[in-house]
Amino acid sequence: MLIHNGDHAQYEIDNADVPLKERSDWPLPSFDAKHWAEAFCKINPWADEGTMLTWFACALMRGFDEHAARIGNLNLDVRCEYGCTLKKVNAALRLSTSKGVTE
């Protein structure tokens, strides 16, 4: 049973003792490319697991990078206790890394 719109808490309770790889939502909760490659090759036996491992590793990392880039481009005016805004901190980080400053 794959949950799309439902009670996820109840699903977790019902499947608490089920081994991860036997759950109906496997490998959705995993960020490990090996798990995704293994699951893919199980339903697509023609696929090479090494190739799929590379593909899933790249896809998962691309998703992570995209999310990080979107978070980094937010124009939030959140102030810290010193009066800095997130926008100013992000600008300073970009400036310091572009000049090779590591401290």
Tokens (6 digits) for 59: 């896809």
b/e sequence 54-66, b meaning 16+ C-beta within 10 Å: ebbeeeeeeeeee
1-29 pLDDT, tens digit per residue, is: 555 556 777 788 888 899 988 888 888 88
What is the value of pTM for the model shown? Answer: 0.57
42-59 pLDDT, tens digit per residue, is: 999 999 999 999 999 999
Residue with tokens 């023609």: 46
Domain limits, the chain: 74-103
